[in-house]
Structure 1
Amino acid sequence: MHPHRQGRRKALPLSLTNAIPALCPLKPFLRTYRPELVDTFRLSVPIIIAQLGVVLMGVTDNLFVGRLLGAVPLGAAGLATSLSFLMSSVGVGGLSVVAALVAQANSQDNAPLINRLFRAGLWASVLMSVVLGGLSVILAFYFDLFGQSPDVTRLARDFMLILSASVLPLLVFVATRQLCDGLRKPRVAMLITLSALLLNALFNYVFITGVGPFPAWGLMGSAAATLLSRVYMAVAMLVYVYWQPSFKPYLLAEFAKLPVRAEINQILRLGIPGGLTFFFEVATFSLAVVIVGWLGDDRLAAHQIAINMASVTYMMATGISSAAAIRVGAAIGFSDVDGALRAGVAAFALSLSLMTLAAALFLTANDWLVSLYIRDNPDVMRIAASLVIIAGFFQLSDGVQVVALGSLRGMADVNVPTLMSLVSYWVIALPLSYVLAFPLGLDAIGVWIGLLTGLTVAAALLTTRFFRRIRRLRQAAISTLTA
C-alpha cells in the first residue's frame, strides 16, 4: 500500500472548516491525522536537514567572518550571500517541482517517466545555472548601485564573484536531490549535506586564517570554502544515485535514449513560476538588506545576524513544504482529493508546531543567540537583539505561507501563487519597509515590521488558495461520479 494511503480509518469530513486543526477537537484531529502527521514528519526530517545545509553554509561563513574579521566584512559577506542566493533562488525554487512530478510518476509505477524527469532536471539545472550565474556576475560588477559604503562594496563584489561560480554545483545538487526526494529516499542528501557543512567549517578556518601551506585569504577564503563545499555536494550526490542499486530500475540503459525535451519544457513551464515565487520572497529579504545598509554598517551587520537566524527556521519550514509537495503530488497522482487535503493539513500542523517553538526561542533567548555571532560590538548586538524579537513574531506567518506554496506545487498550481507572492512582497512588504524605516523614522525595526506584514498577507492568500483548490477538485470529482 502506498505510504500516503496508510492509516485511513475515518472518512475525511466534507467541510473544509472541519479540516483546520485550530477548529477541531484535538483528540478527533489526532485520531484522523496521526498517520498523516507521522508520515509527513518522517519524510520531512531528512529534507529539512538537507534544506538547512543550503542556508547553513551561509550561516557558517558569517559565524567565521564575524568572529575572525569583524563587523564590516560580516556585513559585506552577508550582503553578497543574500544577493547571490537571490540569483540562484529561481533555480532552487524552480527545480523543486521535479520532486512532486517524480512522486506522481512513482505513484503510477512509471519508471521511464521518472528517468526522463531526472535527466530533464539535470539539463534544466545546467541551463538555469548559466543564466543565473551570469546574472550574478553582472550584478557583482554593478554593486555600486546598491549605495553601500565603499568598504562593503569592494569586499562584497569580490565575495559575490566567487559565489557566482558555485551556482552550477548548487543547482546540480538540488536537481539530483529531487529524484531522491520524489522517490522518498531523502536520507542520503541529509548525510551529504551534514558532511559538507563540516567541510565548509574546516575550509573557512583554513582559508580565512591560513593554516600550514595555505595562505590567509581573509574574507575571500570564506567564499572559496562555500564553492568547494558545493562542488563536493554535487559530485557526492551524483555518485550516490548512479552507484546505489535501488536507483537502477530508473537508470536503465534503454531509458537513456528517450527524448527529454518535453520534460525539460514541463519543468521550466511549472518551475519558473514556482522559482519566481521563491525569488519574490528571497528578493524581498535581499533588498531589505540593501535598505538596512543605507542606515549604516552597524545596522547592516545586525540585520545580517537576525536574518541568518530567520533563514535557518525558514529552511526548516521549507523541508516540511517539500514533503507536502511530494505527498500532495502522490495523492493527486492517485486522484485522491481527500488524501491531498490530509497531506496538506498535516504539513500545516507540523510547520505551525515547529515555528511556534522557533518563535519562543527567538523571543526569550535573543541576546544569547546574537552573542553567538559577535561579542565585541555592543551597538550591533543591541540592534540585532531587537530585530530577532521581531523575527520571532513572523515565524508563524513564514511557516504557513511556505507550506501553502508546497501544497499548491503538489497540485501543479504555480501561476496564481506567483502573483500572490508578488503582491505580498513587492507591493506591500518592500514599500512599507522603506516608509517605516525612513519617512516614519523607525530605522531597521521599521524594515522588519514591513517584512512581517508581507509574510502575513502571503500566508493568508496562499492558504485560502489551497483550500479553495481542494474544494474545486472535490466538486469536480463529485460531478464526475454523478454524471
Structure 2
Amino acid sequence: MSVIHSRSACIPWRHELAATFKLAWPLVLTQLATIALTTVDVIMIGWLGPDELAAATLATSLIFPLTFFGIGLLAATAAMFSHEIGAIRLRGVRRTLRQGFWVAITLCIPCLVFLWNGERVMLLTGQDPKLAAMAIGYVDWAKWGLLPLMCFTVLRNLVTAHSRPRSSLIILLLAIGVNAVADYALIFGNFGAPALGLEGAAVATVIVQAFMLFAQTLFVVTDRQFRRYNLFGRFWRPDWARYVEIMKIGIPIGLTVLAEASLFAASAFMVGLFGPDQLAAHAVAIQCTSIAFMIPLGVSQAATIRVGLAMGRARLPDALLAGRISTFVGVGIATLTALAFWFATAPIVGFYLRLDDPENAVAIAFAIDFIRVAAVFQIVDAGQAVAAGNLRGLKDTTIPAILAFLGYWVLGFSAGAYLAFSYGLQGAGVWMGLAVGLTAACFALILRFELLMHRAIRQNDATA
C-alpha cells in the first residue's frame, strides 16, 4: 500500500458525498433490476405449477452458488480497473480486461463439469427423483449462460470503474423486457415458439445473458472513451502475472460472498425443522431482506471504485474519506429501511401472505417477528457490506474473508443454533444468530479499514 502522496489536497466531503451518490444510485438500480430478472422467472414458472417451481428451485440451488462465487471473484477486476484508471495506465486497463475474460473462461470449466453431474448431486442429497429429473432439464440449458454472464460482469466492472454505470443499468432494464417476452414465448409456446415448459425458462435465461454480453460489448467498442483502450487487441496474449493477481484478490471475495449466501441457505434448513409455518415466514423475511440488501450492495460497489480511484492517484486521505462517506451513505439508507421494516411490518408481510386469511395467521405472526429482527440487523448488514467494498478498493481481500467467515459462521451460525434449540427461540433464534454474525463482521471490517488507512498514512508521512 506504499504511495507517494499522502497529504495531497483532499476532496471536500460534500464533493465526495455527491460523487458517491452519483455513482451509487445507478448501481443500486442495477442490483434491483437483477432481482427483477429472477422475479419474472419465478412468476412465470409458478404459472406452470408447484412441481415445476420446486424443480426450478432445485436447479437454481445448484447454479446460484456458482454464480455468486464467480461474480465475487471477478469483483477483483473492479478494484484493479480503478487503480489503473487512477494512475492513468491505459495498457493496464486493457490487460486487466483481457485476463478478466481468461479468468471467467477458466472458472466456467469446473462449473460446467459440476453441473453436468447435477442430477447425481441432487439424488445424493436425498431429493425427489422426479423433481431432480425435471431440474436437470433446466440445468442442462441454463449452464450455457454462465460464461456470457461472467464476461458481462467483467465489462460491467470496467464501465463502473469509469464512473459510468448507466449503460449497464439500461442494458439490465432492457433485459427484463427481453426476459419477460422470451419466458412467455418459450415456456408457454406463444408467438409461434415451441412450448418448452421449464426448459423454456432456462433457454430464455441463456438468451438474456447472451443479450447482455452483446449489448455491453457493443457499448464499449463504439463509445469514444473506451475505444482508446483497444480493449480486445491481442486478446490471446497471456499475462500470467495479471491473471494470478485477479485470482489472488478475487478468490477471497468469492469465498466471502459464498460464505454469506450459504449462511442464509443454512438458516432456511434450520428454520424448516420447526415446521412449514415458520419456513413460510422465513421465506417472506428472506425475500424482504434480499431486496433491501440490494441498496447497500450497490453502495458497496461504488465504495470499491471510489477508494480504488483515490489509491490509484496516490491520495490516501481521499481514499479514507471515500470509505467513510460510503459507509455513512450505506448505513444511513439502511436505517430508513430498518424503520420501514419495524413500523410497517404487517403491510410488508401482506404483500406475500393474505392478512385476512385465518390459515395464514400463524405464518404471519412468525413473519412479523422475523422481519423485526431483520430490521435490527439492516444497519450492520449494510455496514459490513460497504466496509468489505472499501477494503476491496485497497485490494485487501484475504483477511476480510477470514473475518467475515468467523463472523458469519463461528459466531452467527453457532449463536443461531444455540438460541433456536438450546434457548428454545426456534426460528426467531436463528434470525437473532444472523444478527450476531453480521454485527461481528460489520465492526471487524470497519475497524480493519480504519487501521489499514491510518497505518498507511503514518508510514507515508514518515517517508515523505
Question: 2 CA distance for matches of 1:173 and 1:135?
Answer: 22
Contact 1:99-1:326 within 8 A present in 2 as well: yes
Tell me the residue number matched to 1:25.
none
Tell me the residue number matched to 1:387.
370
TM-score, normalized by length of structure 2?
0.87
Contact 2:304-2:392 within 8 A present in 1 as well: yes
After superposition, the C-alpha distances for 1:199-245 in whole angstroms (9 at most, x for unaligned) are 22333444445435445555554444433322221222122222223
The answer as to 2:163 corresponding to 1:184 is yes
Question: 2 CA distance for matches of 1:217 and 1:382?
Answer: 39
Contact 1:73-1:219 within 8 A present in 2 as well: yes
Corresponding letter in the other structure for 1:110: R
Q: How does 1:29-428 map to 2 (within 5 A)?
A: 32-65=12-45, 68=47, 77-78=56-57, 80-138=59-117, 140-144=119-123, 146=125, 158-214=137-193, 217-251=196-230, 256=235, 259-296=238-275, 299-373=278-352, 375=354, 378=360, 380-428=363-411
After superposition, the C-alpha distances for 1:360-402 in whole angstroms (9 at most, x for unaligned) are 2223333433444454872655544443333222211111001
Contact 2:97-2:231 within 8 A present in 1 as well: no
Say if 1:462 and 1:119 are closer, same or farther in 2 by CA, change over 3 A: same
Question: 1 CA distance for matches of 2:305 and 2:436?
Answer: 29
Question: 1 CA distance for matches of 2:336 and 2:104?
Answer: 35
Say if 1:82 and 1:306 are closer, same or farther in 2 by CA, change over 3 A: farther
Corresponding letter in the other structure for 1:142: V
Question: 1 CA distance for matches of 2:345 and 2:48?
Answer: 23
Tell me the residue number matched to 2:444.
461
- Residue range with higher mean Cα deviation, 158-167 or 417-426: 158-167
Q: Give me the CA root mean square deviation.
A: 3.0
Tell me the residue number matched to 1:446.
429
Question: 1 CA distance for matches of 2:155 and 2:250?
Answer: 15
After superposition, the C-alpha distances for 1:82-103 in whole angstroms (9 at most, x for unaligned) are 5522222221011112112111
After superposition, the C-alpha distances for 1:305-326 in whole angstroms (9 at most, x for unaligned) are 3322222222221211111111
Say if 1:255 and 1:226 are closer, same or farther in 2 by CA, change over 3 A: closer
Percent identity between matched residues is: 33
Tell me the residue number matched to 1:473.
456
Say if 1:463 and 1:434 are closer, same or farther in 2 by CA, change over 3 A: same
After superposition, the C-alpha distances for 1:122-150 in whole angstroms (9 at most, x for unaligned) are 11111112223433454553224555677
State the secondary structure of the residue aligned to 1:91: helix
Question: 2 CA distance for matches of 1:94 and 1:280?
Answer: 13
Say if 1:403 and 1:83 are closer, same or farther in 2 by CA, change over 3 A: farther
Question: 2 CA distance for matches of 1:209 and 1:306?
Answer: 31
Corresponding letter in the other structure for 1:288: S
Q: 5+ residue gaps in structure 2?
A: none
Q: How does 1:12-27 map to 2 (within 5 A)?
A: none
Question: 1 CA distance for matches of 2:222 and 2:199?
Answer: 35
Corresponding letter in the other structure for 2:23: L
Tell me the residue number matched to 1:29.
none
Question: 2 CA distance for matches of 1:150 and 1:431?
Answer: 33
Corresponding letter in the other structure for 1:447: V
Question: 1 CA distance for matches of 2:151 and 2:190?
Answer: 31
Say if 1:76 and 1:345 are closer, same or farther in 2 by CA, change over 3 A: farther
Corresponding letter in the other structure for 1:395: Q
How many residues are aligned here?
454
Corresponding letter in the other structure for 1:317: P
State the secondary structure of the residue aligned to 2:97: helix
Question: 1 CA distance for matches of 2:420 and 2:174?
Answer: 41
Corresponding letter in the other structure for 2:71: V
Question: 2 CA distance for matches of 1:77 and 1:381?
Answer: 26
Say if 1:277 and 1:230 are closer, same or farther in 2 by CA, change over 3 A: same
Question: 2 CA distance for matches of 1:118 and 1:279?
Answer: 24
- Residue range with higher mean Cα deviation, 283-292 or 293-302: 293-302
Question: 1 CA distance for matches of 2:18 and 2:389?
Answer: 18
Q: 5+ residue gaps in structure 1?
A: 13-31
Shift of 1:462: 0.5
Contact 2:86-2:311 within 8 A present in 1 as well: no
Contact 1:58-1:81 within 8 A present in 2 as well: no
Contact 1:87-1:133 within 8 A present in 2 as well: no
Question: 2 CA distance for matches of 1:147 and 1:299?
Answer: 22
Question: 2 CA distance for matches of 1:106 and 1:412?
Answer: 15
Contact 2:94-2:232 within 8 A present in 1 as well: no
Say if 1:400 and 1:445 are closer, same or farther in 2 by CA, change over 3 A: same
- Residue range with higher mean Cα deviation, 149-158 or 451-460: 149-158
Say if 1:233 and 1:42 are closer, same or farther in 2 by CA, change over 3 A: same
Shift of 1:157: 5.4
Say if 1:82 and 1:340 are closer, same or farther in 2 by CA, change over 3 A: farther
Contact 2:274-2:426 within 8 A present in 1 as well: yes
Shift of 1:252: 6.3
